[in-house]
Amino acid sequence: MSALLEVKNITKIFPKVRANDGVNLTVEEGEIHAILGENGAGKSTLMNIIYGLYKPDSGELKLSGETLNLSGPHEAIEKGIGMVHQHFMLIPVLTVAENIVLGAEPGGIPYNKKKANELIREISKNYHLEIDPDAKVKDLSVGLQQRVEILKAFYRHAKLLILDEPTAMLTPQETEELFGIMRRLKEQGISIIFISHKLDEVKEISDKVTVMRRGKTVGTLNTKDTNEQELANLMVGREVVLRVEKSEYKPGDVVLSVKDLTVLDEQNIEKVKNVSFEIRSGEIFGLAGIDGNGQTELIEALMGLRQIKSGIIKYQNSDIEKLPTRERYKLGISYIPQDRQQEGLIMKFSVADNLILKEYKDIRYSKNGVIQYKKVFENASKKVEEYDIRPTDYTLLAGNLSGGNQQKIILAREVGSNPKLLIAVQPTRGMDVGAIEYIHKKLLELRDGGSAILLVSLELEEIMSLSDRIGVIHNGVIMDILDGKSATREKIGLLMAGSQIDAKEVEV
Amino acid sequence: MSKVLKSIYMPILAVVIAIIIGSIIMLATGFNPVAAYSSLFIGAFGTLPNIANTLANAVPLIITGLGVAIAFNAGLFNIGAEGQYWIGAIVGTWIGYSFKGLPWYIHIPLALVAAMIAGGLWGGIIPGFAKAYTGAHEVITTMMMSYVAIYFSHYLLEFGPMMEKGSVPQSPLIRDSAVIPTIVPNTQLSYGIVIALVAALFVYWLMYKTVWGYEMRAVGFNQRASKYAGMNVPFNIVLSLSLSGIFAGLAGAVQILGVQHRLYDSFTSGYGYTAIVVALLAKNNPIGVVFSALLFAALGTGSQYMQLNAQVPGQLTDVITGLIIFFVAADKIIELFKTMFKKQKKEELAS
Amino acid sequence: MKKLRVVLSLMLAFVLTLSLLSGCSSATKQQQSSQSNNTTQNAKNKDFKVGLVTDVGGINDHSFNQLAYQGLEKAKNELGVTVNFIQSKQQTDYITNLTQFAQQKYNLVIAVGFLMKDAVEQVSKEFPDTKFLIIDSDITDRPNVASATFKTEQCGYLVGVMAGLMEKEKNSKLNDQNVVGVVGGMQIPPVDSYIAGFQQGVKAVNPDTKVLVSYTGNFNDPASGKQMALTQISQGADIVFHVAGQTGDGVINAAKEKNVYAIGVDADQNYMAPDTVMTSALKKVDVATFETIKNALNNDFKSGLVYFDLANDGVGYAKPIKDVPQSIVDKVNEYANKIKDGTIKVSDQVQK
């Protein structure tokens, strides 16, 4: 094996940030090389440099021994570097084939459909990436769309494939499939750079792993010689507790009871169908499911952000389905929405203002319509300290804080009010190891204090490690509610995919 | 303090660059920028009457600018402040001349409040409800309503019910009891300036210290998060557009009662449009609006004096105004300059 | 940041240096020109200062403001008085600008346009020693204010005579329907006086001619002027007279497009369409301005309404294009003389 890609001492400085600071990386031919690092560690910057999107301020880039001086992605593609971005760059209304050949059509202007399809069949056969060239991209699952992106790279003769957080949007089964593909590609001599912050995946699929922290590469290890704990410590720069330590499950009274709930989406399609479940105090109820299976509509209905078609929502024994959102907050319900920047925070408000986003009308913070900023700041300085929000200047705009600290603002607001019911949707989405550890700790504290928690997550690992009971939703229906201790990954995975019968069999 | 500096630094930079480019243009066309700018300054602030006239010119800009800034704060673009100004002016004029025998302390507030209500209806209730409940874009609706207002004034003044008997399309003079008195004799500066300053303080307090302002700003920055936080988004849209119209309407009435004393037939007062620039330059801060309105008012009065004493065409101030708008709107360009200079510096260091 | 500051200050320094240089040069230029004036002109006249305040139209409006400015320039060149002008940008500038001149001890301040009536009334009261001339208005109760009033029905009459006579001619632009049209702006007395004169002029020489009269209701919308003119042309009008400010631009356009004649107003508008605008009814604001300056200079300032008519060359018609036969021009001049000597009295009331 010889080095395919060599990155030597690359530095890239943005205003105020050294995004890459003397980065070194060597990727051998036919190797799966994981890049591991927290958000903001410089992974994406590095990849964008390799892909020609950024020019490094100093340092050298070599491909097969030849120095690269890329003027843009087109040149990187020409040299055999392919990249699959986290957010796909596909045009939904075009077919698979059209998407793949877009920009490099066979035959030039008079698009030769037959030839394009032929070429794509050939490539998909060579690389074992089965797909129907005539299918419309919008009809494909996320996993298949990703496959189209990979094919796009190989249509352009990629020797090096960069996968940026490829598993973030996939179900466990799809992830397994992707790993299968990656292994086959490796056998064919393709080198893969695999970017992730998920330790278990890195451990499973990669040959080597390079860990980045604060713009620097802190080490390259042979995957088989290391373990998750070591990787996590390298990533964060300190000892990290990976295992969630959970106290005993002591459920109390029913806090939230949902009965026969049916909810429509904007197109009047039933997104939640006759759903029933209960959550007790002192319990974390995990809702597992693939994105888009009715979770959003269910949560919005619970929060009064969306009208329900039928059913009953009981909170502490009173019907709340007709109450407006604010009234539900007042009853002691808290809500961590999925998209912290669009739904949870006002990015151009200060940290202090964001901390009272739901309670500014409360007697504690305003009198006769006038906000008592002295009280607001008292609250802010208390919360900033308690939840370790950094920087500690609460007059800064929320948008100027890092993602992890933004989430802490929401956490401080929603958890800090000691809710009787917390609805947390993907609370650790996009967070790095250290922040996840912190958020999980807070959720468990709340549970032990007697609150009821509805945890919605696409991360199976998170659901399984935190939940006392797990409901699996598929296509708007709760397929089954499992006991948190005995549920297995496979069983949940199958239920998520909608296969109830198989799941039952596994149970037997 | 450094925070204040930081927030006013970009607008000031925009003004400075505009002035510098203005001087280059003057040099290129054979005028002396030092003479021009000094006479511009003297014209605006050189004597007591000049200062008074500058302040007088600032009054409608401040009040209308506040209106536009409120809407901007709520994420809405009230491009129709001009029309709301007209409606306020029409109502203010009508009450000003048609009510007899009222004492001033009833007549003036009556005219002002009626104009505010009319402006609020015109700018807020109609476009506000259209936006909140049908999604009709406020840029379109406020602008259309603006035309309706202006043409309505043409109707009223050109042989309509408000035309003064005589040859010229204009309204009768308002009664003395409705006149806001002048502060500095022989100038146009009336106590309207006090109304403008109080309005600015009020809007500042409203937007930054009250729950209503908090909500409007929240809705302005992020409707989705505001809805998620339990706020009534449509209500806030109507509220902010109404407030916006209320202030534009107030501006129209203050101008009639304090300066014009009657309504003239004209296609545009220009205040509604300049107010947009005023608000932009002020970054929608109500206190900033006062200073930015003063700047544009000074450019206005100063330019007249500049024509007279430096022989520089008054259009030059239009050029400077245009440049300021350009650099304020395009502050990204200034950012770009900054990074370019930074890069250069770094390269210099590296070499 | 530091770099930026350096660059800005360099730019500023550069500008300052240049401006000092240019300042020197322009100063010398001024001196030279004033010297040459000094040698040829009476120094006393030079002390007489005249200020002109335009309305929001500005001095390039091809109309009153421009004509007033021309009169002012003429006074500077022929009488040697010192002149200056300010262009108002908005209505609230009027008082400021008039005051500006009065404060600087200008002897005569000219306000162009009836829109400045309120402003002149106020400022003239505050500065009783300053003389004011307002164009097109009717201030009568001030000893220091002259209001220039134009007998535009007289020049309307003359172009009416010309149009009536032309209807009897034959050429490619004229049909045989014997119809002429007038497009007015707003229906206000200054517009109607023109129209009234035009109607009477046409009837005087050609009683069978039909005169179409319509108003657009504005002075600044050429599109509506064009529309109205096209309507009149479709009804047979082959000569269209406009009294509609900028709206009239559309009228002249329509005439040009449809290959008929147009008659301009206020100033000689032949330049807008040389083959189409056969003449223009002139309101000689330049003459009024110049005459008033001259009178004031000679201590002969008359306050109150000052009439400008054919007799004192305050109104008239522009030199017709060659399509108009000399015989018709002679006839028009005949009528002009009859008006001057009072044989014909022209009414300013429009015939419905």
CATH superfamily of C43-150: Response regulator (3.40.50.2300)
What SS3 string covers chain C?
CHHHHHHHHHHHHHHHHHHHHHHHHHHHHHHHHHHHHHHHCCHHHHCCEEEEEECCCCCCCCCHHHHHHHHHHHHHHHHCCEEEEEECCCCCHHHHHHHHHHHCCCCEEEECCHHHHHHHHHHHHHCCCCEEEEECCCCCCCCCEEEEEECHHHHHHHHHHHHHHHCCCCCCCCCCCCEEEEEECCCCHHHHHHHHHHHHHHHHHCCCCEEEEEECCCCCCHHHHHHHHHHHHHCCEEEEEEECCCHHHHHHHHHHHCCCEEEEEECCCHHHCCCCEEEEEEECHHHHHHHHHHHHHCCCCCCEEEEECCCCCCEEECCCCCCCCHHHHHHHHHHHHHHHCCCCCCCCCCCC
> Residue B316: its chain C contacts at CB < 8 A?
none
The verdict on A302 and A190 lying in the same domain is no
Inter-chain contact C100–B260, Cβ cutoff 8 Å?
Answer: no
Q: Which among A206, A236, A266 is the end of a domain?
A: A236
How many domains in chain A? Answer: 2
Say if A353 is an interface residue toward chain B (CB within 8 Å): yes
Inter-chain contact C3–B342, Cβ cutoff 8 Å?
Answer: yes
Q: Which of A134-138, B77-81, B109-113, C259-263 has the lowest mean pLDDT?
A: A134-138
The verdict on A225 and A292 lying in the same domain is no
Residue A384 domain flag: no
Residue C11: pLDDT band by 50, 70, 90 thresholds?
Answer: low
- Higher pLDDT pick, B301 / B252: B252
- What residue type is assigned to position B125 of the chain? I
> Residue B221: its chain A contacts at CB < 8 A?
346-349
pLDDT of residue C35: 45
* H helices present in A1-78, as ranges: 43-50, 73-78
- Higher pLDDT pick, B75 / B165: B75
pTM of the model: 0.77
Q: What is the domain-level CATH number for residue B49?
A: 1.10.3470
The beta-carbon neighbor of C4 closest among B32, B167, B341 is B341
The verdict on A165 and A278 lying in the same domain is no
Residue B270 lies in domain: 32-311
- Whether C283 shows a pLDDT value over 90: the answer reads yes
Nearest CA in chain B to A323: B230
Task: Please say whether the beta carbons of C201 and C335 come within 8 A.
Answer: yes
From residue B245, alpha-carbon distances to B85, B124, B152, B198 in Å are 8, 6, 17, 17
Over residues C107-129, the pLDDT tens digits come to 999 999 888 888 999 999 999 99
Over residues B180-217, the pLDDT tens digits come to 999 988 788 999 999 999 999 999 999 999 999 999 99
The beta-carbon neighbor of A358 closest among B211, B217, B230 is B230
pLDDT of residue C77: 93
Residue B348 domain flag: no
C152-282+316-340 in CATH: which number? 3.40.50.2300
B232's tokens: 């009534």
- For chains B and C, CB pairs below 8 A equal 112
pLDDT of residue B134: 87
Residue B344 domain flag: no
> Residue C92: its chain B contacts at CB < 8 A?
56-57, 188, 255, 259-260
Inter-chain contact A326–B230, Cβ cutoff 8 Å?
Answer: yes
Task: Please say whether the beta carbons of B8 and B275 come within 8 A.
Answer: no
pLDDT of residue C264: 94
Q: How far is B206 from chain A (nearest CA, A)?
A: 9
Q: Which of A141-155, B14-28, B243-257 has the highest mean pLDDT?
A: B243-257
List the chains bordering chain A where 3 or more Cβ pairs fall under 8 Å. B
How many domains in chain B? Answer: 1
pLDDT of residue C3: 52
The beta-carbon neighbor of B32 closest among C26, C92, C101 is C26
Nearest CA in chain B to A303: B228
> Residue B259: its chain C contacts at CB < 8 A?
92
Q: Which among A199, A219, A236 is the end of a domain?
A: A236
Task: Please say whether the beta carbons of B33 and B26 come within 8 A.
Answer: yes
Say if A102 is an interface residue toward chain B (CB within 8 Å): no
- Whether C172 shows a pLDDT value over 80: the answer reads yes
Inter-chain contact C22–B30, Cβ cutoff 8 Å?
Answer: yes
Inter-chain contact B32–C19, Cβ cutoff 8 Å?
Answer: yes
- Give just the sign of the alpha carbon dihedral A133, A134, A138, A141: negative
The verdict on A111 and A46 lying in the same domain is yes
The verdict on A197 and A285 lying in the same domain is no
**Cα(C229)–Cα(C253) distance, rounded to whole angstroms?**
9
> Residue C23: its chain B contacts at CB < 8 A?
32, 34-35
- Whether B350 shows a pLDDT value over 50: the answer reads no
Residue B327 domain flag: no
The verdict on A250 and A158 lying in the same domain is no
Inter-chain contact A337–B228, Cβ cutoff 8 Å?
Answer: yes
Best of A17, A328, A371 to disrupt the B interface (most B CBs within 10 Å) is: A371
Residue A378 domain flag: no
**Cα(B12)–Cα(B18) distance, rounded to whole angstroms?**
10
pLDDT of residue A300: 94
Residue C30: pLDDT band by 50, 70, 90 thresholds?
Answer: very low
Residue A423 domain flag: no
- Within 10 A of A148 (CB to CB), how many other CB atoms are there? 24
Residue A41 lies in domain: 3-236
Inter-chain contact B209–A371, Cβ cutoff 8 Å?
Answer: yes
* H helices present in B121-191, as ranges: 126-129, 138-157
- Whether C50 shows a pLDDT value over 50: the answer reads yes
Residue B35: pLDDT band by 50, 70, 90 thresholds?
Answer: confident
Element (H, E) at B248: helix B233-255
> Residue C220: its chain B contacts at CB < 8 A?
267
The beta-carbon neighbor of A360 closest among B214, B221, B224 is B214
Say if A40 is an interface residue toward chain B (CB within 8 Å): no
Task: Please say whether the beta carbons of A416 and A387 come within 8 A.
Answer: yes
Q: How far is A399 from chain B (nearest CA, A)?
A: 11
Inter-chain contact B210–A395, Cβ cutoff 8 Å?
Answer: no
> Residue C15: its chain B contacts at CB < 8 A?
20, 23-24, 27, 33
Residue ranges in chain A modelled with pLDDT below 50: 502-508
Inter-chain contact B211–A361, Cβ cutoff 8 Å?
Answer: yes
Per the listing, tokens 């009222």 go with B102
> Residue A342: its chain B contacts at CB < 8 A?
222, 224-225
A334's tokens: 């808290």
- The vertex-B315 CA angle with C226 and B296, nearest 5°, equals 115
> Residue A301: its chain B contacts at CB < 8 A?
none
- Higher pLDDT pick, B316 / C329: C329
List the chains bordering chain B where 3 or more Cβ pairs fall under 8 Å. A, C
Per the listing, tokens 């139209």 go with C57
pLDDT of residue B227: 94
CB-based touch C/A (3+ pairs, under 8 A): no
pLDDT of residue A414: 94
Q: Which among A203, A221, A236 is the end of a domain?
A: A236
Over residues B318-334, the pLDDT tens digits come to 787 788 778 776 766 66
Inter-chain contact B260–C138, Cβ cutoff 8 Å?
Answer: no
Task: Please say whether the beta carbons of B239 and B63 come within 8 A.
Answer: no
> Residue B262: its chain C contacts at CB < 8 A?
118
3-state secondary structure at position A456: strand
Nearest CA in chain B to C91: B269
How confident is the model over C295-308, as a mean pLDDT? 92
pLDDT of residue A506: 45
* H helices present in A20-136, as ranges: 43-50, 73-78, 96-101, 113-126
Inter-chain contact B218–A346, Cβ cutoff 8 Å?
Answer: yes
Per the listing, tokens 């995919």 go with A497
List the chains bordering chain C where 3 or more Cβ pairs fall under 8 Å. B
Say if A215 is an interface residue toward chain B (CB within 8 Å): no
pLDDT of residue B18: 85
pLDDT of residue A501: 53
Q: How far is A219 from chain B (nearest CA, A)?
A: 28
Residue A296 domain flag: yes
Inter-chain contact B227–A325, Cβ cutoff 8 Å?
Answer: yes
Inter-chain contact B231–A360, Cβ cutoff 8 Å?
Answer: no
Global ipTM: 0.82
Inter-chain contact B304–C86, Cβ cutoff 8 Å?
Answer: yes
Q: Which of B128-132, B158-162, C256-260 has the lowest mean pLDDT?
A: B158-162
> Residue A326: its chain B contacts at CB < 8 A?
230-231
Inter-chain contact B186–C11, Cβ cutoff 8 Å?
Answer: no
Over residues C76-111, the pLDDT tens digits come to 999 999 999 988 877 788 888 999 899 889 999 999
**Cα(B66)–Cα(B201) distance, rounded to whole angstroms?**
10
Pairing outcome for strands A469-474 and A477-483: antiparallel
Q: How far is A190 from chain B (nearest CA, A)?
A: 38
Residue A312 domain flag: yes
Over residues C176-207, the pLDDT tens digits come to 899 999 999 888 888 999 999 999 999 999 99
Nearest to C69 by CA among C293, C263, C247, C272: C293
